[in-house]
Amino acid sequence: MISDFSITEILYKLRHGEFSIKELIEESYVSIEKYDSKVNACITVIDKSFALQEAEIAQKNLTSLPLAGIPFVLKDAYITRGIRTTAASKVLDNFIAPYDATVYAMLKKCGAILLGKMNMDAWGHGGSTENTDYGVTRNPWDMTRSAGGSGGGPAAAIALRYCPFAIGEDTGGSIRNPAAWNNITALKVTYGRVSRYGAIAYASSLDTVGPTAKTVQDCSIILEYIAGFDKFDATSSHREIPHYSSLLANSVRGKKIAIPEEYFSTGLDPEYKKIILQSLEVWKSLGVIIEHISMPMLEYGVPMYYIIVSSETSSNLARFDGVRYGNGRKYFTKESMRRIMLGTYTLSAGYVDAFYKNAQRARTLLRDSYTKTLETYDAILAPVNPIPPPKFGELLDDPVKNMYADLYTGFINLIGVPSLALPCGFTGSGLPVGMQLIGKMFSEGSLLNLGHQYQSTTDWHTKKPNVTV
Amino acid sequence: MLKIMKSKLSGQKSKIDIRKIAKLANLTLSKSQEKELLAQVENTIAYVSVLQQLDTSGVVETAQVTDSENIFREDSIDLSRVLTQKEALSNAKRHHGGYFVVDQILEEKS
| Chain A residue numbers touching B41 (CB-CB < 8 A) | 338, 341-342, 345
Write down the pLDDT at residue A468. Answer: 85
B95 part of contact set with chain A, CB < 8 Å: no
Question: pLDDT above 90 covers what percent of chain A?
Answer: 96
Whether pLDDT at A305 is above 80 = yes
**Could you report the per-residue pLDDT of A147-160, keeping only the tens digit for each?**
999 999 999 999 99
Whether pLDDT at B3 is above 50 = no
Average pLDDT of A254-258?
A: 98
The mean pLDDT value of chain A amounts to 97
Contact yes or no for A338 and B37 at CB 8 A: yes
Residue type, B2: L
ipTM exceeding 0.85, yes/no: yes
**What is the sign, positive or negative, of the torsion defined by CA atoms of A439, A441, A443, A448?**
positive
- Asked if A252 contacts A287 with a C-beta cutoff of 8 angstroms, the reply is yes
Distance CA A22, CA A161 (A): 16
- CA nearest A154: which of A200, A204, A209, A201? A209
Which of B25, B52, B88 has its CB closest to that of A340?
B25
Write down the pLDDT at residue A290. Answer: 98
Query: In which region does residue A340 sit, left (phi positive, over 0), alpha (psi from -120 to 50) or beta (all else)?
Result: alpha
Whether pLDDT at B50 is above 50 = yes
Contact yes or no for A416 and B66 at CB 8 A: yes
Whether pLDDT at A170 is above 80 = yes
- Asked if A433 contacts A447 with a C-beta cutoff of 8 angstroms, the reply is no
Distance CA A469, CA B12 (A): 51
Segment holding B105, helix H or strand E = none
Write down the pLDDT at residue A395. Answer: 80
